[in-house]
Structure 1
Amino acid sequence: MTYSPILSEDALLQALLKDSLNGLILYQVVRNEAGKPIDFLYQLVNPAAAILLGACPEDLHGKSCKEVFPQGDELRMYYQQVAVSGQNLRVEYQLPTDGRWFEVFITEQVQETLLCFFTNITDRVLAEQELIKNLTLLQHTEELASMGSWDYDRSTDQFFWSEGMYRLFGLELGTPISLQTYVNNVLEADQPVALRFVDKLQRETLPFEETLRIRRYGDEAIIKIKGVVKSNSQEQPMWVLGGCWDITH
């Protein structure tokens, strides 16, 4: 039995271009006499990409990228890089017209063409920017309020300390943290309290708190630590989240 394709390769490409929710553009590379890529002509543009350019796909065929999208110098620089090196490239690009963010994958094709895929990543980028802003705000708040935050993963026996925690304990940022850190840094008289706190970190299922006296830069300081136990999807208490406050004064 002989296989006979229902659609030609060109028809398949056109179908993919039409139905994809992501932007797809096929460019013809234009080079100067020295062989340097200087412009890119639209050969195929799917509806999603045409909307970004504010035009109909049919109206873009054969037109210059510089003419249609004059504000896209940064994007064309990436196109030139791929046209010269022949190496695929994936970049994040902010659309100058409305501020949306796209992941752009650029790949060299046969007969001096580039195929570009545009995926909208605006929500992800905004979420990352919001996270960075919140972390920065948290750092400022911790510094002003003489506090810190931490979490402990029981399954891996690993801690995460904020910068504020390192300041409260007088430790260099990035110093490895373990359960023993609490025991090692308290006054000798408070070691039983530190051991009780460590036991709660490992076994407790309800919210808890302890007050510890620690030695910081040669002076005595008093800190209050609170913890809340969080369960995983199997309702197993696996994470402990908490805060720490300097109550010396």
Structure 2
Amino acid sequence: MPLTALDPAQVLSYIQEGAMTAILYCEPIFQDEQVIDFQYVWGNQKASEYSGLLPGQLRQSTMLEIFPNIRTSGIFSRYVQAWEQNQPQRFEREYVMNDRVWWLDVSVIRQGKGIVITALDITASKEIRRQLQQQTAVLQTIVDYCPSGLMLLDAVRNPAGDIIDFRYMLTNPANAQVTGLSVEQMTGRLLLDLFPGSYSEGMFQRIVEVTETGEIQQFEHHYQGDDMDVWINATIVKINDNQTLFTFQDITTLKQQQLALREQAQLVAASNQELKKSNEDLERFAYVASHDMKAPLRKIKAFADILRHQQQEQWDERTLDFIDRIQKSAAQLMGLVDGLLQFSIVSNWETSFLVVSLEEIMAEVLTHLQLPIDETGATITWQNLPRIIGNPILLSELFQNLIANALKYRHPDRRPVISISGEQITGAELPDRLNAVSDPNGPAVWWQITVADNGIGFDMKYQDEIFHPFRRLHTQRDYEGIGIGLATVKRITEKHRGYITVQSRPGAGTSFYLYLKEYLIV
């Protein structure tokens, strides 16, 4: 039925009762030819709901009586403008009634003697828009402050549907920092226009593959195009039929550190190899030199003996003193050569291991040292010594040097007491200084072999020096020796893949601790 065939009163009734939009008709109220208010003439059911008045009450009210605050908010002036200037108005306003907040989309037009006001409830859509704005703000914050570079790329296709480029839809400061271009300079621009090197680098093809197949790609790449030299750890994910998200982490610093460490490790390995060769050459030289030096030293000593004993009546006391000094110096030098030769032999020994009883080794060592033991009145005990995989000759040398060292540096006021014992310990019980150098993948159980004496002891500031060749804490006049015994002990221990430490205190004795890994035990 055409609209013109309807009774206007019937149409108005439909509008009043069924419309979802509030509709009001009001006429201006004048004072001194100025519009000071509007009188409501009629309104539909929705208008009554918004105002909280019955239709009869609404028609008896003016606009400012019901909504006095619209004068200060500027809304009333827009109603006046619609009437006086015949200019339609459209705006959104917040509307509070009975502790409820509504948002209305309001339209105002002049009609006849008054104005027609329509108001649509947009509270739900306003809330959705507010939530979307909040989500957008959160997303933008995440994008802006994300430490990873981020690019949302939209595929650009030719008429045949082939991807020929990608357009930046979104990017962030982390990407800008790497590329050297601002977010504004990249947004909306084409990838190949900004970074043509991405094609030759293979990056463009990766993005195409993900966009076409949907298969995620994760990879590490060294990008050296477009005035950039960066390492990235990248992920490419398809978002929809035409858009792809490219994210990456700049790992340039990490890679540079890794490469530097690798180069340093290579240099250290090369230096160690050179040092090893140098040490081997030095040890061979020491062996040859000490071996060859013994012959002339024996001759010096022999000739001094002849002068001292066979022609003693020809020399005065001063000359005999000189000869004695020559003999002592020759003997001392002979001891040095023997020590150097012994240390060289130990260092170059091609070690072969077999099952060895440390108790049997100890019994043999004490037999060799019986004379100084008797002379000093020493007491030597041992207990719980294990059977190990080792070299019997070197181990005999090791314990002989340790016990001889204890006998030599005995306390002048008491007889030497030396105890040797074995104890199994865990890796956690190793001294702190060994935890740093021991193999973390090695066994958890070790053997600790302790050699303790009650001798003169020494200051612990010399704990490392005593294991150096020819390093002595006392003068030759006080204690004879050449300072090679403990260095030999340390070298033998290392050949058995073990460690040696020491604890001492002046006047209170010394304890040496040998540490051997469990896998050497049988």
TM-score range, shorter chain: 0.7 to 0.9
Number of paired residues? 236
**What does the per-residue CA deviation read over 1:193-213, in whole Å, with 9 as the maximum and x for residues that have no partner?**
323234336533223345555
1:122-177: CA deviations, max 9, x gaps? 22222222222222222333343323544333367543114445455332333242
1:204 to 207, 213, 216: 213
Which residue matches 1:8?
Answer: 7
Q: Which residue of 2 aligns with 1:234?
A: none
Q: How does 1:23-38 map to 2 (within 5 A)?
A: 23-34=22-33, 36-38=34-36
Q: Give distance in 1, aligned partners of 2:132 and 2:252.
A: 31
Partner AA of 1:205 in structure 2: G
Any residues of structure 2 matched to 1:117-128 within 5 Å, and which? 117-128=118-129
Deviation digits for residues 209-239 of structure 1, max 9, x if unmatched? 4555568xx87554444333245xxxxx233
CA distance in 2, matches of 1:96, 1:4: 36
**What is the distance in 1 between the residues matched to 2:36 and 2:231?**
67
Residues 207, 226 of structure 1: 8 Å contact kept? yes
Residues 243 and 96 from structure 1, CA distance in 2 versus in 1: closer, same or farther, beyond 3 angstroms? farther
- Does the 8 Å contact 2:152/2:170 carry over to 1? yes
- Mind listing any 5+ residue stretches in structure 1 that lack a counterpart? 232-236
Q: Which deviates more, 46-55 or 218-227?
A: 218-227
- Distance in 2 of aligned mates of 1:124 and 1:168: 40
1:34-183 to 2 correspondences below 5 Å? 34=33, 36-73=34-71, 74=73, 75-97=75-97, 98-111=100-113, 113-147=114-148, 149-154=150-155, 158-164=167-173, 165-166=175-176, 169-175=179-185, 176-180=188-192, 183=195
Q: CA deviation at 1:49?
A: 1.4
**Which deviates the most, 81-90 or 195-204?**
195-204
Q: 1:247 to 1:142 in 2, by over 3 A?
A: farther
Which whole-Å CA distance do the structure 1 matches of 2:247 and 2:3 have between them? 67
The answer to which of 4-13 and 44-53 deviates more is 4-13
Equivalent residues of 1:179, 1:198 under 8 A apart: no
Runs of 5+ in structure 2 lacking a partner?
A: 158-165, 254-522
| More displaced stretch, 238-247 vs 101-110 | 238-247
- Counterpart CA distance in 1 for 2:20 and 2:31 is 34
2:92 aligns to what SS in structure 1?
strand
Task: Rate the CA distance shift 1:6–1:185 in 2: closer, same or farther, 3 A.
Answer: same
Q: Tell me if structure 2 keeps the 8 A contact 1:24–1:116.
A: yes
Sort the Cα spacing of 1:158 and 1:107 in 2 relative to 1 into closer, same or farther, 3 A. Answer: farther
Between Structure 1 and Structure 2, whose CA radius of gyration is higher? 2
Label 1:51 to 1:185 Cα distance change in 2 as closer, same or farther (>3 A): farther
Distance in 2 (alpha carbons) for counterparts of 1:115 and 1:147: 56
Question: Is the CA contact (8 Å cut-off) linking 2:207 and 2:244 kept in structure 1?
Answer: no
- TM-score, structure 2 length as denominator? 0.40
Indicate the SS of the match to 2:183: coil
Distance 1:226 1:212 in 2: 11
Q: Are the counterparts in 2 of residues 212 and 224 from structure 1 also a CA contact under 8 Å?
A: yes
State the secondary structure of the residue aligned to 2:204.
helix
| 2-structure distance, mates of 1:184, 1:4 | 64
Quick check: 2:37–2:64 contact (8 Å CA) kept in 1? yes
**By percentage of residues, which structure has more strand?**
1
Q: Report the Cα distance in structure 2 between the residues aligned to 1:37 and 1:167, rounded to whole angstroms.
A: 61
- Describe the superposition over 1:82-136 as per-residue Cα deviations: whole angstroms up to 9, x where unpaired: 122211121111113322211111111012x111111111222222222222222
Q: Which amino acid aligns with 2:112?
A: V
Kindly indicate whether structure 1 or structure 2 has the higher relative contact order, using CA contacts under 8 Å at least 6 residues apart: 1
Distance 1:131-1:83 versus aligned 2 partners, 3 A rule: same
1:11-22 alignment runs, 5 A limit: 11-22=10-21
Q: Which residue of 1 aligns with 2:429?
A: none
CA contact (8 A) 1:197 1:210 kept: no
C-alpha displacement of 1:46: 1.0
RMSD in angstroms over aligned alpha carbons? Answer: 3.2
Q: Return the alpha-carbon distance in structure 1 between the equivalents of residues 228 and 17 of structure 2.
A: 70
Counterpart amino acid of residue 238 in structure 1: N
Question: Bigger CA drift: 100-109 or 120-129?
Answer: 120-129
Pick from 205, 227, 243 the counterpart of residue 239 of structure 1. Answer: 243
Indicate the structure with greater helix content: 2
Q: TM-score scaled by structure 1?
A: 0.77
**Secondary structure of 1:206 counterpart:** coil
Amino acid at match of 2:83: A
Q: Which amino acid aligns with 1:92?
A: E
Whether contact under 8 Å (2:210, 2:216) holds in the other structure is no
Tell me the SS of whatever aligns to 1:100.
strand
Specify the SS of the correspondent of 1:48. helix
Alpha carbons 2:41, 2:59 under 8 Å: kept: yes
The one-letter amino acid paired with 2:108 is I
Which amino acid in 1 is paired with 2:39?
A: L
Offset of residue 60 of structure 1: 0.7
**Partner AA of 2:44 in structure 1:** N
Q: Identical aligned pairs, as a percentage? A: 16
Distance 1:153 1:118, change over 3 A: same
The amino acid that maps onto 1:77 is S
